[in-house]
């Protein structure tokens, strides 16, 4: 069986149609669809993506039979337009364009006017009655073909053109006469000879073959590969090639070319939005050499063409039921459509269009929900840098907490606090932050650190506060003494200088960039309401304070999935008591210190329970190793020793004794609670006393106590015993009953592997996919910076597994954990509280795996709600599809 | 259905038999078996272990129906001996003994002469015609019962006895007259009243019930629980209770009691070995009050009884086909057997007995192999401390490398080298060792470190050299400046003092303890040969040097399962070139440094290939993070910088840049080879050039290149490409072909989870269960010391998972890895090279899981060979058993 490599569209009939994007690419399927719909489309044909793939698998040879099909298709096009390719009297010219399944802007290049040579040039001049036009067309063709197909640096041609214009005193390209252009063309041909060592190919068929190969070749060009990597597009899709009869927008003032959207892609407003150029070819619009006019002006200049275009645009939008991105050319007052595709749009526009189209009856709610990329909502929730503004990026770090902020650089947290009180906007810049810097972080617009990963103190605290943060920016060197930092490129930023941070991408920008405020309008609320109807998974939040809880609830969180009690330890003077507890040598001393911490914890829990009235709150018992609460530099240790009234060598010895080679795998999580059950007891008491207090006050409290870092059911059982014992005591003492659950984080491979055993005790599981990813990969998030970016670049890993859940490996453990856990306890409640809980593809995985909820930071809650809705809709559609085929 | 709680043995017939150890305990089943065999056994009955378990589950109540059964059984015994329990004229006395499935020496106590009170005492006196005997029996009874059943401190009775003896001028107990004993008994009864607030129970049935309860109670006594924990015996086995008619060894000079082994339990020599006491009760032998005589003397004193006993002993050994540990009593010239059980024995005896019994036709080879505990072989391979010698343990650390050694303490490696040259025996004591200490370690008898775990530099290097090492001994504080260390208890050991280390248990001993040399005799070789015939799994060794390889081959290693190339980096001046490579800023500089290392590596590989001529050698490419090769203390960094001729701040910056928060999860393993492929290239070139050289010299070389720390197949593929490219180059350059394999270590959960993908590239897997345990548990071996011992103590974990493979969790990943790997590549070669490869229960698991080989340190090779044989035999027997029932 021979494959069909070429799909013709011509004379109101096309071999392909709009659903064949995989084979014909976006552009090709659009042209086929428009042709079939009877719209005015210049005839042509599409070479399939399969041909491209075979080109690569066969060592860059055109597939057998392709050329015969191309010739046959070309004859059909010739017949349709009544011209002949390569004919000296009545020549057919074609455009050659790439067109992959996904649009990749700025990467695949287009060759226009292909088929010109000395002979056909004359034919074109005769045909058009315009020698200057023909010469200009030829000039453009040689220039584009030379650059794109023959790989000659574009500036060679640009320089020659500029030189010519200077020589003859021309300002615009259009000032050049036919003779000037003829002379210029000679220079162009000389450039080609110089650069390639051969003459310019004059055989139109050779031109066509070279152009087709160039399109195939560009699929693996550096820029295309990079774009696919960034946008996670598979390398084996291949690109199609569209060969289409030329129409000319530059044959006079009744000609023109333009691009337009059926709705405003920035705001979503329903009106034709776009621009056009009179008497111009497409590249002139793109190149920005001449300033195009707004599409509305076309109505005045060519009212009939405009009316026709508006009607075509409306038809196409209705046909595709989505905003269309159109390209058109007007030749002698006749409209030709060159492209239609679904338009890219901003988050705001995506939401508005989706909601509007439902009211217009164009799409249903499910479709509307599928139309918005969850990550786009981030634009609506945070300030962002005006994309139109030019900015100077001076350094790059980790996108540790999204949003953007501007402020004056300050290196000292106390100073930050003072300046903030004085009404200044500051950005705190530190090598890394520690609990002592907390007040300075609160006072700052944003935080920039030179060290530390996505889970560093700065990153975690900033995310909790919804504050922009760029962390681990190793490209800057901070000098506290001289109050300045220097970038890799040697730029110095001093105390008080303005900078802007973009925490969504991790950029440090010089000066004050203009910011755009977030928009949470009715459209957003409507869409979110639909999402909540559609989804089956609950969405909770990771929140450690009453304030965070409040914010998250406003964003639609249905409870807390992870409340990290240790973050409470850092606030204010509490850390003193915590340190006293750690340094304690006896159980008595430890108990005394714990008694000081207990009231703080109780008050925190009361605040959180109130904020989450009626919703479940999952509280994790102490997790980090104790040395995290102690200083490590000798000077800091000395200072603390003095403050605590103990000898410095004693404290130093304690710090050394607690030192761990691999703290991530050390004495933390439930291992602390097992060696020091009194810590768990204190925490449980604070939780239940708070719960009782709230219950008395009429607040509905649903605490879920979560034991971290469990690797065997015996650990969980021991900690569960402590919690239940304290719960019984508190309820007995107060006479108030509180319903509660005891469960565990599944964050170690062994916990997932033995989940059936663990579910004998656990009433719920919450997958801690941050740590689970670290242990499953044997990869420290703090240390991976040295090679993980390289890994993603080399495609060893498709994504950073700390951002996008690794479904093949870590996901297998999650599936196993859910399956085994429910085999023991069928009503086991299962959630996820790693960073992945707010990442759309991971949320989809969680839905598919049967999780009851995802939990994420407050500002990711809307994203997770939408992603969960999309997963539910896709699931339903998949079921429909499979039951349809059954 | 009512359960049967009581099993009678009487008059040549028993309810139970010898295979019912679970239900009747070792002693009870032995008594039943001997009774059935017609041997002279005093009649009695056994209360089952089930009764004990029900006693505990029902809140320490005797099970329903038990007492009725006891009474019925008692009547049978009465009938058999013609006496009556509690009868004042012709009383029956009984002994009450515990007897669990496994013998637990020194833990369960025995009550003799139970049934005595004022009335029956008179009957006993009349019956025996010996009032003194009766009074003595009563005195013993009250004393034992008071101590064991009534929980009265034994010294109360001892003091009264001593006081009495002093008062009447008696030297021996036997010097006391009947009257003295009567007076003493009054004092005993007063003690009981004082201590318990009640009189001594005079009702024999009450005495019996209290004694039975006391036996049950002792099952959960502190010592019993501790013993079970140490010896890994389950808590829910329970103990049986044996109630047996008394016979008296203390009725005169034609009486006696003794214990004997059918062969020498120290050497295995075939001769009756044991001791006895004339005119004594059992407790006298055990208590060591009188010095017993050698069993041989019985032949002279009571030739007929001896002959009978010898014949019984031989019959029992033949019957059980194993060395028996016997207890007997002679009453009036009549022999009574009180116990037979399989004898405990030393490693040397175990091997000799097993081999001898095969030549004697008693057992087959498979049985012989099952008779030796693999770990016992350790005694035959290393020097050990004479178990008879009294030693003073001054500190405890980790048993990092087995064996024992004595030497004079030295703190400096250079000094160690010098003293060694002077013919002194030294033990190197360091806080921790580093590559710079290597020459000092070579010169020392043993190594003691204060810090570091079982995989610390000291531990790994010592094991490789087969040198005794105690590591991580945090109980000592070392003062280098004053050349001494101080123990936790405040004992100071100075430079030059003699100490002894026991690396098998981790003990530091004061002074020179007498050592026993290892014995590798013909019996050992015979048994090993049988093991090799029986086993189906290969046994390889972990060896990094030609010398280690040679030793391992002599111990029977069938190849190398893990050759760690980085250990070669530490030797001599090589470390200089390695450090140069690390500090290199450019590829060129790095290549230059690598070129210096290459010849060393090649020479090492040549040596190893020669030592392993004809056997496979698995070579792992560089694994540890690069910072492990650099110093970390500022002074050391400064010194190195000067040596290398670079500025100290530059080197300091490099060290800091390489610092990792969690090096275990950091930039190591194949992650190094991917970022610096030139390192893998250099290693591959060294391997293949060595292989070609050896091939030319007629050595058969089978290299297997192993890529470490793979988490995804893409990593392996990249490294495989490098290796194969170099292999092709070297073979092309030299014209010599070398067969080789490329495979990977499976040491991360993700590798096991995606083993099907990884086997697309890997030709073999080797499970690195050290790291796999760390990541599966999220547990750093270096840091676990703070809580892991507590975990084992609290039974959260049954064993240290770094010593005994965690089959439930880590084992599940191993099984999954094997299954998935072979689903892709059915002939995938699979081995294990973690520490578990030499641990018997883990070896058994490996056999069951279908591994092709285990690999362990040279001195564990014989242990692994035997364990593999036992696994194969057990497997075969299991198959036989299941096909028998099918």
Chain A nearest-CA distance from B461, in A, is 20
pLDDT band at A455 (very low <50, low <70, confident <90, very high): low
Average pLDDT of chain A? 91
Confidence category of residue A326, pLDDT binned at 50, 70, 90: very high
B311 phi, psi to nearest 5 deg: -70, -40
> Quick check: A18 and A32 in contact, CB under 8 A?
yes
CB contact under 8 A, A748 and B776: yes
What is the 3-state composition of chain B as percent helix, strand, coil, each rounded to the nearest 5?
A: 50, 15, 35
Q: Where are the beta strands (DSSP E) in A377-422?
A: 384-385, 393-396, 398-401, 404-410
Q: What is the pLDDT of residues B787-843, one digit of tens each?
A: 888 898 888 998 889 989 999 999 999 999 999 999 999 999 999 998 899 999 999
The answer to whether residue B884 scores a pLDDT higher than 60 is no
Tell me: pLDDT of B288 over 90: no
- Cα B332 to Cα A669, B128, B295, B311, B318: the distances in Å are 68, 11, 18, 19, 28
Degrees to nearest 5, angle at CA B646 with B642 and B650: 115
User: Does residue A672 contact residue A717 with C-beta atoms inside 8 Å?
Assistant: no
Give the DSSP H/E element, type plus range, for residue B507. strand B507-510
Q: What is the dihedral of CA B648, B654, B659, B663, to 10 degrees?
A: -120
Closest-CA residue of B relative to A662 is: B662
- Helices A587-611 & A546-554, crossing angle to 10 degrees? 30
Chain-chain contact of B787 with A712 (C-beta, under 8 angstroms)? no
Task: Give the separation between CA A325 and CA A337, rounded to whole angstroms.
Answer: 11
Identify all chain A residues contacting B782, using CB atoms and an 8 Å cutoff. Answer: 660-662
Classify the phi-psi angles of B735: left when phi > 0, otherwise alpha if psi is within -120 to 50, otherwise beta.
left
Residue B609 burial (CB < 10 Å; 0-12/13-18/19+)?
Answer: buried
**How far, in Å, CA of B277 to CA of B292, rounded?**
5
Taking the C-alpha atoms of residue B375 and residue B75, their distance in angstroms, rounded to an integer, is 48
Per-residue pLDDT at A884 exceeds 70? no
Contacts of residue A661 in chain B, CB cutoff 8 Å?
A: 663-664, 780, 782-783
Q: Do A797 and B714 touch (CB under 8 A)?
A: yes
Which member of A180, A420, A457, A627 is catalytic? A457
Q: Note the pLDDT of residue B107.
A: 53
Closest CA to B71 of B94, B53, B101, B49: B94
Q: Residue B883: CB partners within 8 Å, gap ≥ 6? A: none
Rounded-to-integer distance, Cα A607 and Cα A613, Å: 10
Q: Over 80: is that where the pLDDT of A882 sits?
A: no
SS3 assignment, position A9: strand
Q: What is the pLDDT of residue B243?
A: 97
Contact B24, B45 (CB under 8 A): no
Q: Beta strands A560-564 and A538-542: pairing type? A: parallel
Residue A1's pLDDT band (boundaries 50, 70, 90)? very low
Could A749 and B711 be called an inter-chain contact, meaning their C-beta atoms sit closer than 8 Å?
Answer: no
Does B230 score more than 70 pLDDT?
Answer: no
Least confident of A423-427, A463-467, B166-170, B700-704: A463-467
Give the 3-state secondary structure of B599-629.
HHHHHHHHHHHHHCCCCEEEEECCCCCHHHH
The more confidently predicted of residues B882 and B750 is: B750
* Residue A469 C-alpha from the chain's centroid: 17
pLDDT score at B283:
67
- Mean pLDDT within A765-794: 90
Give ipTM to 2 decimals: 0.84
Closest listed residue to residue B555, CA positions, set B496, B611, B627 = B611
User: What's the pLDDT tens digit per position in B420-434?
Assistant: 999 999 999 998 887
Contact residues, chain A, for B662 at CB < 8 Å? 662-665, 780, 782-783
User: Is the pLDDT reported for residue A867 higher than 50?
Assistant: yes
Residue labelled with tokens 């006479």: A735
Torsion B232-B233-B236-B238 (CA) sign:
negative
* Strand A507-510 with A498-502, pairing: antiparallel
Of A663, A749, A754, the CB nearest to B808: A754
CA distances from A254 to A260, A330, B313 (A): 19, 7, 123
The confidence band for A885, taking pLDDT boundaries of 50, 70 and 90, is very low
Please write the tens of the pLDDT for every residue from B719-729: 999 999 999 99
- Radius of gyration over alpha carbons of chain A, in Å? 33
pLDDT classification of B474: cutoffs 50, 70, 90: confident
Q: What is the mean pLDDT of residues B403-426?
A: 93
Residue B459: predicted pLDDT: 81
Tell me the nearest-neighbour CA distance from A301 into chain B, angstroms: 59
Compute how many other C-beta atoms are within 10 angstroms of the C-beta atom of residue B708. Answer: 27
Evaluate if residue B758 carries a pLDDT over 80. yes
Q: How far is the first Cα of chain A from the last one, in angstroms, to the nearest whole number?
A: 29
Distance CA(B754)–CA(A568), nearest Å, equals 39
Q: Is the pLDDT of residue A283 over 70?
A: no
Cα separation of B573 and B578, whole Å? Answer: 9
Closest Cβ opposite residue A662 in set B663, B712, B797 = B663
Provide φ and ψ at B705, rounded to 5°: -90, 125
The Cα-based distances of B838 to B281, B803, B809, B862 in angstroms read 46, 9, 19, 9
Active site includes A856?
no
What is residue B628's predicted lDDT score, i.e. its pLDDT? 87
The pLDDT score that the predictor gives to residue A398 is 87
Please compute the mean of the pLDDT values over residues A188-204 and round it to a whole number: 94
What does the pLDDT look like over A102-159, one tens digit per residue? 877 545 678 999 999 999 999 999 988 899 999 999 999 999 999 989 989 988 998 9
Q: Nearest chain A Cα to B451, which residue? A: A657
pLDDT of residue A873: 96
Which chain B residues are within 8 Å of A714, Cβ to Cβ?
A: 794-797
Structure confidence by residue, pLDDT tens digits, B97-117: 998 888 775 456 789 999 999
Across all residues in chain B, what is the average pLDDT?
91
A451-473 mean pLDDT: 79
Residue A880 pLDDT greater than 80, yes or no: no
User: Contacts of residue A747 in chain B, CB cutoff 8 Å?
Assistant: 778
Q: Is the Cβ pair A711, B810 closer than 8 Å?
A: no
Using alpha carbons, select from A397, A404, A399, A400 the residue that is nearest to residue A382: A404
Give which of B536, B488, B528 is closest to B508, Cα–Cα: B488
Q: How many helices (H) and strands (E) does chain B have?
A: 35, 34
B659 is catalytic: no
Given an 8 Å threshold on Cβ–Cβ distance, is A778 in contact with B748? yes
Q: Over the stretch A234-269, which tens digit does the pLDDT of each residue have? A: 888 999 999 999 999 988 889 999 989 999 988 899
User: What letter would DSSP give residue B472?
Assistant: -
The active-site residue out of B469, B694, B833, B846 is: B833
User: Which residues of chain B have a CB within 8 Å of the CB of A749?
Assistant: 749, 775-776, 778, 809, 813
Distance from CA of A820 to the nearest CA of B (A): 13
Euclidean distance between CA atoms A333 and A256, whole angstroms: 9
Strand, helix or coil for residue B448: strand
Degrees, nearest 5: CA angle B391-B396-B399 = 100
DSSP-H helix ranges across B302-364? 303-320, 347-359
Interface test with A, best of B753, B798, B813 (most A CBs within 10 A): B753
pLDDT of residue B307: 95
What would the mean pLDDT of B138-145 be, rounded to a whole number? 92
The CA distance from A162 to the nearest CA of chain B, in Å, is: 43
Mean pLDDT within A722-726: 98
**Which one of A235, A716, A749, A773 makes the best mutation probe of the B interface by having the most chain B beta carbons within 10 Å?**
A749
User: Could you tell me the pLDDT band of residue A348, with boundaries at 50, 70 and 90?
Assistant: confident
In this prediction, residue A376 carries a pLDDT of 87
User: Which chain B residue shows the shortest CA-CA distance from A709?
Assistant: B778
Which chain B residues are within 8 Å of A794, Cβ to Cβ?
674, 714, 718
* pLDDT score, position B885: 44
Per-residue confidence (pLDDT) for residue A250, from 0 to 100 = 86
Residues 6+ apart with CB under 8 A from B586: none
Residue B681 or residue B284, greater confidence: B681
**What are B13-72's pLDDT values in tens digits?**
999 998 899 999 999 999 999 999 999 999 999 999 999 999 999 989 999 999 999 999
Which pLDDT value is given to residue B886? 39
The percent of residues in chain A predicted with pLDDT above 90, rounded, is 69
- The residue from A255, A473, A833, A856 that is catalytic is A833
B652 Cα to chain A: minimum distance (Å): 16
CA distance B746 to B757: 12
* More confidently predicted of A33 and A236: A33
| Pairing assessment for the beta strands B426-430 and B560-564 based on DSSP bridges | unpaired
Helix (H, G, I), strand (E, B) or coil at B44: strand
Chain A nearest C-alpha distance from B450 (Å): 13
Q: Give me the mean pLDDT over the A407-413 stretch.
A: 95
Beta strands (DSSP E) in A293-392 are 293-294, 324-331, 334-342, 384-385
Report how far residue B414's alpha carbon sits from residue B417's, in angstroms, rounded to the nearest whole number: 5
User: A562 pLDDT exceeds 90?
Assistant: yes
pLDDT tens string A48-96:
999 999 999 998 999 999 999 999 999 999 999 999 999 999 999 999 9
A753: which chain B residues are within 8 Å (Cβ-Cβ)?
A: 776, 808-809, 812-813
pLDDT for the residue numbered A883: 65
Q: Which residue from B147, B179, B145, B146 is spatially nearest to B164, judged by alpha carbons?
A: B179
**Does the pLDDT value for residue A212 go beyond 90?**
yes
Of all helices (H) and strands (E), which one includes residue A10?
Answer: strand A6-10
């Amino acid at each position: 069986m021979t494959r069909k490599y070429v799909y013709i569209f011509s004379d109101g009939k096309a071999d392909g149609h709009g659903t064949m994007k995989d084979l014909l690419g976006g552009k090709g399927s659009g042209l086929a669809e428009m042709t079939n719909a009877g719209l005015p489309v210049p005839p042509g044909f599409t070479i399939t993506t399969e041909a491209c793939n075979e080109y690569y698998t066969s060592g860059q040879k055109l597939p057998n039979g392709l050329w015969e099909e191309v010739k046959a298709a070309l004859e059909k096009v010739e017949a349709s337009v009544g011209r002949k390719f390569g004919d000296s009297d009545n020549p057919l010219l074609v455009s050659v364009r790439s067109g992959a399944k996904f649009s990749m802007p700025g990467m695949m290049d287009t060759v226009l006017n292909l088929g010109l040579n000395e002979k056909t040039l004359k034919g074109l001049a005769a045909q058009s009655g315009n020698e200057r036009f023909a010469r200009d067309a030829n000039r453009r063709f040689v220039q584009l073909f030379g650059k794109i197909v023959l790989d000659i640096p574009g500036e060679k041609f640009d320089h020659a053109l500029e030189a010519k214009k200077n020589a003859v005193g021309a300002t615009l390209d259009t000032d050049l006469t036919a003779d000037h252009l003829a002379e210029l063309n000679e220079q162009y041909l000389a450039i080609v000879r110089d650069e390639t060592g051969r003459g310019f190919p004059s055989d139109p068929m050779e031109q066509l073959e070279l152009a087709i190969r160039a399109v195939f070749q560009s699929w693996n060009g550096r820029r295309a590969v990079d774009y696919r990597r960034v946008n996670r597009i598979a390398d084996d899709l291949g690109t199609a090639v569209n060969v289409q009869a030329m129409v000319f927008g530059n044959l006079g003032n009744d000609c023109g070319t333009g691009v337009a959207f059926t709705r405003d892609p920035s705001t979503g407003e329903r009106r034709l939005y776009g621009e056009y150029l009179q008497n111009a070819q497409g590249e002139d619009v793109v190149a920005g050499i001449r300033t195009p006019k707004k599409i509305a002006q076309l109505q005045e200049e060519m009212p009939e063409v405009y009316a026709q275009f508006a009607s075509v645009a409306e038809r196409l939008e209705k046909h595709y039921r989505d905003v269309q991105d159109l390209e058109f050319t007007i030749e002698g007052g006749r409209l030709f459509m060159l492209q239609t595709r679904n338009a890219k749009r901003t988050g705001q526009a995506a939401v508005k269009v989706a909601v509007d189209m439902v009211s217009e009856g164009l799409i249903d709610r499910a479709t509307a929900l599928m139309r918005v990329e969850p990550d786009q909502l981030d634009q609506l929730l945070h300030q962002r840098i005006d994309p139109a503004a030019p900015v100077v990026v001076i350094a790059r770090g980790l996108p540790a907490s999204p949003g953007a902020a501007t402020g004056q650089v300050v290196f000292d947290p106390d100073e930050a606090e003072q300046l903030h009180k004085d009404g200044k906007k500051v950005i705190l810049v530190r090598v890394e932050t520690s609990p002592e810097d907390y007040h300075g972080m609160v006072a700052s617009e944003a935080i920039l650190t030179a060290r530390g990963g996505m889970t560093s103190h700065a990153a975690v605290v900033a995310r909790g506060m919804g504050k922009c943060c760029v962390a681990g920016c190793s490209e800057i060197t901070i000098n506290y003494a001289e109050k300045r930092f220097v970038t890799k490129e040697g730029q110095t930023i001093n105390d008080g200088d303005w900078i802007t941070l973009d925490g969504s991408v991790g950029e440090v920008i010089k000066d004050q960039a203009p910011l755009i405020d977030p928009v949470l309008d009715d459209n957003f609320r409507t869409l979110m309401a639909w999402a909540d109807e559609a989804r089956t998974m609950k969405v909770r939040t990771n929140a450690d304070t009453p304030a965070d809880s409040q914010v998250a609830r406003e964003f639609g969180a249905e409870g807390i999935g992870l409340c990290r009690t240790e973050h409470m330890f850092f606030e204010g003077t509490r850390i003193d008591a915590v340190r006293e507890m750690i340094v304690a040598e006896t159980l008595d001393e430890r108990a005394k210190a714990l008694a000081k911490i207990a009231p703080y914890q109780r008050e925190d829990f009361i605040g959180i329970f109130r904020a989450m009235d009626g919703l479940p709150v999952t509280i994790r018992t102490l997790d980090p190793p104790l040395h995290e609460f102690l200083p490590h530099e000798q000077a800091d240790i000395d200072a603390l020793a003095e403050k605590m009234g103990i000898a410095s060598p004693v404290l130093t010895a304690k710090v050394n004794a607690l030192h761990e080679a691999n703290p991530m795998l050390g004495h933390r999580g439930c291992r602390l609670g097992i060696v020091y059950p009194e810590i768990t007891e204190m925490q449980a008491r604070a939780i239940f006393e708070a719960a009782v207090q709230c219950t008395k006050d009429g607040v509905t409290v649903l605490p879920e106590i979560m034991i971290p870092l469990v690797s065997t059911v015996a650990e969980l059982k021991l900690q569960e015993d402590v919690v239940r014992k304290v719960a019984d005591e508190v309820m007995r003492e107060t006479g108030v009953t509180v319903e509660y659950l005891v469960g565990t984080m599944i964050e170690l491979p062994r916990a997932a592997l033995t989940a059936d055993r663990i579910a004998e005790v656990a009433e719920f599981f919450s997958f801690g996919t941050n740590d689970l990813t670290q242990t499953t990969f044997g990869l420290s998030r703090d240390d991976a910076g040295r090679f993980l970016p390289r890994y993603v670049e080399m495609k060893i890993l498709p994504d950073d597994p700390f951002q996008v859940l690794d479904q093949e490996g870590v996901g297998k453990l999650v599936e196993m954990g859910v399956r085994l856990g429910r085999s023991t306890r069928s009503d086991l409640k299962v959630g996820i509280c790693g960073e992945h809980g707010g990442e759309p593809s991971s949320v989809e995985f969680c839905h598919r795996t049967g999780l009851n909820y995802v939990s994420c930071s407050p500002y990711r809650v809307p994203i997770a709600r939408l992603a969960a809705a999309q997963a539910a809709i896709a699931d339903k559609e998949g079921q429909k599809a499979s039951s349809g085929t059954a």
